[in-house]
C-alpha cells in the first residue's frame, strides 16, 4: 500500500499543480497545549460567554 502523502504529491504533479510545496510551515509554539481551553479562558477574561 502506497503512503497517502506519496499519492498526494504524485497527483499534484499529474494535475500540473505546485500547491503541495507552497504550504506554510506549522507554528509549533503552542504544541501540547489545549486550544479550546485557551479560548474559554480568554472569553472569561473578556466577560463574554
Assign residue 32 a region (left: φ > 0; alpha: ψ between -120 and 50; beta: otherwise): left
Tallying the residues shown for the chain, one arrives at 49
Per-residue pLDDT at 32: 82
CA distance 24 to 27: 9
Mean pLDDT within 3-11? 88
pLDDT tens-digit map of 16-49? 877 666 667 777 887 788 888 888 888 888 876 5
Q: What is the DSSP letter of 20?
A: G
Round to whole Å and give the CA distance between 28 and 36: 16
d(CA 23, CA 2): 22
On the question of pLDDT at 13 being above 70, the answer is yes
What's the pLDDT at 12?
Answer: 85
Q: What is the model's pLDDT at position 22? A: 62
Amino acid at each position: 500500500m502506497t503512503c497517502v502523502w506519496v499519492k498526494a504529491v504524485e497527483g499534484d504533479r499529474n494535475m500540473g499543480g505546485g500547491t503541495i510545496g507552497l504550504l506554510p510551515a506549522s507554528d509549533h509554539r503552542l504544541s501540547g497545549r489545549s486550544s479550546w481551553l485557551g479560548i474559554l479562558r480568554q472569553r472569561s477574561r473578556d466577560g463574554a460567554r
